[in-house]
Amino acid sequence: MAADPRVLIASANLRDLGGLATIDGQRVRAGRLFRSGHLSELDRAEAAILGGLGLRTIIDLRRPSEVADFPTPDLDGVDHLWMSVSPEDSGFAVAANLLFGNQPEQVDIATMLEGYFRNTVTNRLDGYRPVFEAATDPDRQPLLFHCMGGKDRTGFVAGVLLRLLGVGQEEVMADYLLTNEILGDRMARRADQARQRIAQRSGVEPDQVDERHLEGVRAMLYTRPSFLQASFDAVTDKFGTWETFRRDGLGIDDARFSAFLDAVVA
């Protein structure tokens, strides 16, 4: 993970989408599009890295409560766009409530989250269209988009942008799963903390916690191929091709997309 030059601030899961090869032999330009988790806890050295990216735009995909609790730092000359793409009762929030209910082993969290990613394409594109409109505007680049962990909402946006740019699905999926390496230690600690909380609440030892409960915790913490794949499958099921999805689903016309390609692919 540390050897990947696209990873700029590991603690914030901040990385450059540049460097990935497209199917036709070109590459995504470095320094144009960035993805990350929240940016409210950067140390001085990390803040200097962020400030050195020359950003013009930051898109915040988070819910109001997340923005209030973990505010994005102000950067001189950077336009901050708040474009919340999920309500407070989003699929992830519902899954979390069920996970810590009375009978969590009866809830298939992974399947619920696959449905969340599928529904992003089939039922919730309205919230994402302004995001893609801004992200494909060369005048707003260099541009960074982020949510809390930089893996789900951010992972969907990154995955769609990379597929539209012509990056192969295998490479796109590898970028999505890279979060598990970058934040692996943090995720393992949170899974252990969940085990401890569940054990305390249930009156058992940590090693006696039902593994089916922890499976749900891990589904919430880690990226999985089936999650992003559910979105990709929904694109082809509903729109047939990525080009049709770009035009009819996202409302990005040919002229705008051509300008985006010229700016981001070389």
94 and 179 in contact (C-beta within 8 Å)?
no
Name the token pair of 217: 């915790």
Q: What is the C-alpha to C-alpha distance for residues 54 and 42, in angstroms, rounded to an integer?
A: 17
Check 17, 50, 147, 198 and give the catalytic one.
147
Known catalytic residue: 255? no
Residues marked as catalytic = 147
